[in-house]
């Protein structure tokens, strides 16, 4: 079967639209979950730095800035896990179905 | 081939031994560091092991696919370690710890900026890169655009970033090795250049990847061990660690909250843009996505890489904060024993002094050897990316139009690797004693304003045309390089002018915006027949990007 017809079949399969739609939405949402806190953090650091000088508890010297920054790093990594989990499972399953149905 | 490899390995071992030997007479240099034999011995073990791997890899490197991408047979976990290795350079270990040591919390903000690109690379780029690319990122940029012009331009973009980065690494290697090993600057640069040529020329991507994996494990292991040894001194209490740091540091309580580094929001924004999208435009990092068999493994590799990089950054933060007390109050680490004066070996040394303070000479030797290995591995990755741009993009695709035989292309690749090695040595010697920090801004500026816009638009935007990509890329290149020259670091500190013409050290806010804007305007106004064809070709590319249909798979041996 030619590459051309394969592509037309994939394009015509509603599952392909479903795959692209789901995956695009998921990628955009996760990107926002990373970028919105990150840029809010950067903005506050430069405009309202005193916020980050608040101590984590009474009598402690550690400011909330340290755990917040660590959380951005740790959270960013966790989200990569969330994405890989769904993409390597659900999304790859739909992709395989789409390819199989097109090759029929 | 076999014989020449053995000869070269013997030759480079000889060169290392010679340099070690010669160092005995070289300690009259400015820094006057004694020759550190335990460090050199540990480094020699690393060199012998990696040369052994190179010999094994050389036997497996027969085709161009083997050379550029290790035949696509690297697993996601291995590739994740290798990517982390590419990103965790000696500059990261020394620079981030020193930043926390001097500036406290500001160093952490900087680390977050360096980290945050990784999740975004996974969400927006990893699987499309793997599905569309074969050997280089120019494969993707020129997928449906003009093979000659866009491929040539993308190759130039890669080579520019590679050269800036190479200079930074080579100069760092020379300075660090002179300091840690007591070897003379030029010897260190030549040793790094020679070993890199052997790894890349003979072992290609397989050897480079394994060198990178071993080094990443050593660096992570070394960093974590040092952190544990250090935390033990503070009774495993962060409260204790920070209380003492505040007492020891001249900034006092200010250490714990944001300071001057990010005080200007526009400057901070430009820095974060450049680091975020620059990471996504580094050719030696993108090349790693083609070494895994499929998109599944590509995604996994970013997951592992992000975890290792994040872990490493958090470890360096603790090391920097601990060094404030352990190194900062010990006269033995300051010139003339003056606490608070100039650190022996310069401002990048806190973590090395920390290693000596908590682990003695043996641990210092180990960490020094790891730092040298780190530079070597990063330089090899860069050289391989540069060699692929020359042989695959410029020679095989643009000059020979795809008619070159595999054997011809391999020959060019090997010559290109040797040429890059010699160039790196010469540049390293030429930039001796120069402040090369601005080159990091340049590398990330070009990566974020030239490579990244072309790459992301070619993957996501149907309307991109050759004319738009070319002129957008050129405007990104000219503006990023121009603005770095006019920035405070270069215009004022290096060229000695009274005031900077461009107020920010990182150009991305202007140059990246300009690149995207020019690309967009010149693409939408492009009504040529070629442009129509390029837009029509997006459909095929889109389906391949989404499903992996027709993507190059793992190659059999």
> DSSP states of B460-513 as a string?
H-TT--HHHHHHHHHHHHHHHHHHHHTSIIIIIIIT--SS-SS--S--HHHHHH
Q: Quote the CA–CA distance of B76 and B92 in Å, as a whole number.
A: 23
Contacting residues of A for B243, CB less than 8 Å apart: 61
| B84-98 confidence digits (pLDDT tens) | 999 998 888 888 999
Q: Quote the CA–CA distance of B249 and B244 in Å, as a whole number.
A: 9
Q: Which of A3, A41, A99 sits opposite B547 (nearest CB)?
A: A99
Flag if A45 and B109 touch (Cβ within 8 Å).
yes
Residue B68 and residue B290 in contact, taking contact as beta carbons nearer than 8 Å: yes
Stretch among A34-38, A60-64, B344-348, B403-407 having the lowest mean pLDDT: B344-348
* A64 in B contact zone (CB under 8 Å): no
User: For residue B38, what pLDDT band results from cuts at 50, 70 and 90?
Assistant: confident
A34/chain B closest Cα distance in angstroms: 8
Which residue carries 């500026």 as its tokens?
Answer: B445
Q: Say whether pLDDT at B434 is over 80.
A: no
Residues 6+ apart with CB under 8 A from A84: B122, B299, B300, B302, B303
Percent of chain B with pLDDT over 70: 93
Half-sphere exposure of B453 (CA within 13 A, CB side): 35
Tokens representing B394 are 């410029």
B120/chain A closest Cα distance in angstroms: 6
Question: Is B235 strand, coil or helix?
Answer: coil
Q: Quote the CA–CA distance of A53 and A71 in Å, as a whole number.
A: 16
Flag if A61 and B239 touch (Cβ within 8 Å).
yes
Q: Quote the CA–CA distance of B506 and B268 in Å, as a whole number.
A: 9
* B347 compared with B279, residue with greater pLDDT: B279
pLDDT at B23: 46
The DSSP bridge partners found for residue B343 are B334
| B44-56 confidence digits (pLDDT tens) | 999 999 999 999 9
A42-65: average pLDDT: 91
User: For residue B4, what pLDDT band results from cuts at 50, 70 and 90?
Assistant: low
B336-351: average pLDDT: 86
Flag if B243 and A61 touch (Cβ within 8 Å).
yes
pLDDT at B435: 73
Q: Say whether pLDDT at B330 is over 60.
A: yes
Give, in order, the Cα–Cα distances in Å from B144 to each of B113, B148, B462: 33, 12, 10
Q: Say whether pLDDT at B165 is over 50.
A: yes
Flag if A76 and B543 touch (Cβ within 8 Å).
no
b/e for A9-37, b at 16 or more Cβ within 10 A?
bbeebeebeebbeebeebbeebbebbeeb
pLDDT at B555: 46
pLDDT at B92: 86
Q: Say whether pLDDT at B556 is over 90.
A: no
Q: Quote the CA–CA distance of B322 and B351 in Å, as a whole number.
A: 9
DSSP label at residue B183: -
Q: Which of B239, B257, B303 sits opposite A81 (nearest CB)?
A: B303
Q: Say whether pLDDT at B8 is over 70.
A: no
Stretch among B325-329, B346-350, B431-435 having the lowest mean pLDDT: B431-435
* Contact map slice: B 263-302 vs A, CB within 8 A: 263-265, 268-269, 272, 295-296, 299-300, 302
Contacting residues of B for A39, CB less than 8 Å apart: 272
Other beta carbons within 10 angstroms of residue B435's beta carbon come to: 12
- Region at B145 (left for phi over 0; alpha for psi -120 to 50; beta for the rest): beta
B441-457: average pLDDT: 93
Cα nearest neighbour of A79 on chain B: B119
Give, in order, the Cα–Cα distances in Å from B187 to each of B28, B165, B352, B381: 15, 20, 21, 21
* B337 in A contact zone (CB under 8 Å): no
Q: Which of B263, B306, B317 sits opposite A76 (nearest CB)?
A: B306
Q: Which of B108, B119, B540 sits opposite A66 (nearest CB)?
A: B108
Contacting residues of A for B109, CB less than 8 Å apart: 42, 45, 69
Half-sphere exposure of B166 (CA within 13 A, CB side): 32
Q: Say whether pLDDT at B19 is over 80.
A: no
Which residue carries 């002018």 as its tokens?
Answer: B497
Q: Say whether pLDDT at B107 is over 90.
A: yes
* B551 in A contact zone (CB under 8 Å): no
* A1 in B contact zone (CB under 8 Å): no
Flag if A73 and B302 touch (Cβ within 8 Å).
no
Tokens representing B485 are 């020259």
pLDDT at B372: 86
Flag if A52 and B265 touch (Cβ within 8 Å).
no
* Cα end-to-end distance, chain A, whole Å: 10
Which of B260, B543, B550 to mutate to test binding with chain A, by most A CBs within 10 Å of its CB?
B543
The whole model's pTM is what?
0.91
Cα nearest neighbour of A20 on chain B: B546
Other beta carbons within 10 angstroms of residue B512's beta carbon come to: 25
Q: Quote the CA–CA distance of B260 and B76 in Å, as a whole number.
A: 40
* Contact map slice: A 68-87 vs B, CB within 8 A: 69-70, 72-74, 76-77, 79-81, 83-84, 87
Q: Quote the CA–CA distance of B401 and B395 in Å, as a whole number.
A: 8
Nearest to B283 by CA among B467, B144, B459, B86: B86
B441-460: average pLDDT: 93
Other beta carbons within 10 angstroms of residue B413's beta carbon come to: 24
Residue B416 and residue B386 in contact, taking contact as beta carbons nearer than 8 Å: yes
Q: Quote the CA–CA distance of B170 and B361 in Å, as a whole number.
A: 25
pLDDT at B338: 85
* B29 compared with A27, residue with greater pLDDT: A27
Flag if A52 and B105 touch (Cβ within 8 Å).
yes
Residues written for chain B: 557
Percent of chain A with pLDDT over 70: 98
Q: Quote the CA–CA distance of B535 and B22 in Å, as a whole number.
A: 61
Q: Quote the CA–CA distance of B289 and B299 in Å, as a whole number.
A: 9
Mean pLDDT (chain B, rounded): 89
B181-210: average pLDDT: 91
pLDDT at B30: 42
Flag if B116 and A38 touch (Cβ within 8 Å).
yes
Flag if B256 and A46 touch (Cβ within 8 Å).
no
Q: Quote the CA–CA distance of B233 and B250 in Å, as a whole number.
A: 22
B110-126: average pLDDT: 94
A27-50: average pLDDT: 94
Residues 6+ apart with CB under 8 A from B529: none
Q: Quote the CA–CA distance of B383 and B199 in Å, as a whole number.
A: 10
| B353-365 confidence digits (pLDDT tens) | 999 999 988 899 8
* Contact map slice: B 104-143 vs A, CB within 8 A: 105, 108-109, 111-113, 115-116, 118-120, 122-124, 127
Stretch among B261-265, B279-283, B321-325 having the lowest mean pLDDT: B261-265
Flag if B124 and A53 touch (Cβ within 8 Å).
no
Cα nearest neighbour of A84 on chain B: B299
pLDDT at B280: 92
| B363-385 confidence digits (pLDDT tens) | 998 998 898 889 899 999 999 99
pLDDT at B27: 37
Contacting residues of B for A100, CB less than 8 Å apart: none
pLDDT at B25: 40
Q: Which of B123, B242, B258 sits opposite A31 (nearest CB)?
A: B123
| A59-76 confidence digits (pLDDT tens) | 899 999 999 999 999 999
Contacting residues of B for A95, CB less than 8 Å apart: 546-548
Q: Say whether pLDDT at B21 is over 60.
A: no
* A29 in B contact zone (CB under 8 Å): no
Which residue carries 């100069």 as its tokens?
Answer: B171
pLDDT at B326: 95
Size of interface A-B (CB pairs under 8 A): 153
Flag if B116 and A76 touch (Cβ within 8 Å).
yes
- Helices first, then strands: H and E counts in chain A: 4, 0
Torsion of CA B258, B260, B264, B268, to 10 degrees: -60
- Region at B204 (left for phi over 0; alpha for psi -120 to 50; beta for the rest): left
Q: Quote the CA–CA distance of B364 and B512 in Å, as a whole number.
A: 42
pLDDT at B29: 37
b/e for B375-400, b at 16 or more Cβ within 10 A?
bbbbbbbbbbbbbbbbbbbbbbbbee
The DSSP bridge partners found for residue A63 are A55
* A9 in B contact zone (CB under 8 Å): no
A14/chain B closest Cα distance in angstroms: 14
Flag if B120 and A31 touch (Cβ within 8 Å).
yes
* A37 in B contact zone (CB under 8 Å): no
Percent of chain B with pLDDT over 90: 67
Residue B118 and residue B346 in contact, taking contact as beta carbons nearer than 8 Å: no
pLDDT at B541: 93
pLDDT at B442: 87
Residues written for chain A: 104
């Amino acid at each position: 079967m030619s590459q051309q017809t394969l592509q037309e079949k994939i394009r015509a399969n509603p599952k392909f639209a479903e795959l692209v739609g789901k995956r695009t939405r998921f990628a955009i949402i996760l990107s926002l979950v990373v970028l919105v806190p990150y840029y809010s953090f950067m903005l506050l650091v430069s405009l309202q730095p005193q916020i980050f000088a608040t101590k984590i508890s009474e009598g402690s010297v550690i400011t909330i800035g340290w755990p917040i920054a660590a959380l951005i790093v740790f959270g960013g990594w966790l989200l990569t896990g969330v994405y890989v989990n769904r993409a390597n499972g659900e999304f790859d399953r739909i992709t395989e179905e789409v390819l199989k149905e097109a090759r029929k | 081939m076999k014989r020449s490899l053995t000869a070269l390995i013997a030759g480079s071992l000889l060169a290392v031994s010679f340099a070690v030997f010669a160092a005995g007479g070289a300690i009259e240099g400015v820094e006057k560091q004694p020759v550190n034999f335990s460090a050199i011995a540990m480094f020699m073990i690393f060199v012998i092991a990696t040369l052994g791997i190179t010999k094994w890899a050389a036997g497996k490197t027969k085709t161009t696919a083997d050379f550029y991408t290790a035949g696509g047979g690297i697993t996601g976990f291995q590739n994740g370690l290798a990517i982390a290795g590419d990103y965790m350079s000696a500059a990261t270990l020394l620079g981030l710890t020193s930043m926390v040591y001097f500036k406290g919390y500001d160093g952490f903000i900087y680390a977050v900026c360096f980290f945050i690109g990784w999740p975004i690379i996974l969400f927006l780029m990893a699987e499309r890169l793997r599905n569309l690319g074969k050997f280089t990122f120019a494969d993707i940029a020129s997928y449906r655009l003009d093979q000659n012009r866009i491929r040539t331009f993308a190759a130039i973009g890669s080579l520019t970033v590679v050269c800036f980065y190479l200079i930074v690494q080579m100069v760092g290697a020379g300075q660090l090795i002179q300091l840690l090993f007591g070897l003379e600057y030029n010897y260190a640069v030549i040793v790094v250049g020679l070993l890199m040529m052997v790894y890349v020329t003979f072992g290609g991507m397989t050897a480079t990847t394994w060198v990178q994996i071993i080094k990443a494990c050593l660096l992570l292991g070394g960093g974590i061990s040092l952190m544990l040894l250090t935390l033990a001194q503070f009774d495993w209490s962060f409260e204790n660690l920070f209380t003492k740091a505040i007492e020891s540091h001249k900034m006092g309580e200010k250490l714990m909250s944001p300071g001057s580094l990010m005080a200007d929001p526009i400057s901070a924004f430009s820095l974060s843009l450049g680091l975020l999208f620059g990471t996504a435009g580094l050719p030696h990092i993108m090349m790693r996505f083609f070494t895994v068999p499929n998109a599944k493994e590509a995604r996994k590799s970013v997951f592992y890489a992000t975890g290792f990089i994040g872990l490493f950054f958090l470890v360096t933060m603790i090391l920097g904060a601990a060094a404030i007390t352990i190194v900062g109050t010990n006269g033995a680490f300051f010139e003339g024993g003056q606490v608070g004066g100039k650190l022996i070996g310069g401002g990048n040394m806190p973590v090395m002094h920390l290693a000596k303070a908590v682990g003695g000479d043996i641990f210092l030797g180990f960490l020094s050897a790891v730092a040298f290995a780190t530079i070597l591995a990063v330089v090899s990755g860069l050289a391989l990316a540069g060699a692929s741009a020359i042989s695959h993009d410029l020679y095989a695709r643009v000059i020979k139009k795809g008619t070159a035989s595999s054997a011809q292309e391999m020959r060019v690749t090997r010559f290109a690797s040797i040429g890059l090695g010699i160039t790196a040595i010469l540049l390293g010697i030429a930039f001796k004693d120069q402040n090369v920090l601005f080159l990091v801004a340049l590398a990330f500026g070009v990566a974020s304003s030239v490579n990244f816009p072309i790459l992301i638009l070619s993957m996501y935007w149907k309307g991109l045309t050759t004319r738009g990509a070319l002129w957008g890329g050129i405007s990104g290149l000219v503006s990023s390089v121009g603005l770095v020259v006019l920035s405070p670091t270069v215009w004022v500190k290096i060229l000695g002018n009274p005031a900077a013409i461009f107020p920010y050290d990182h150009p991305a806010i202007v140059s990246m915006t300009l690149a995207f804007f020019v690309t967009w305007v010149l693409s939408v106004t492009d009504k040529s027949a070629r442009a129509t064809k390029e837009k029509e070709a997006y459909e095929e590319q889109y389906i391949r990007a989404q499903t992996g249909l027709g993507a190059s798979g793992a190659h059999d041996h």
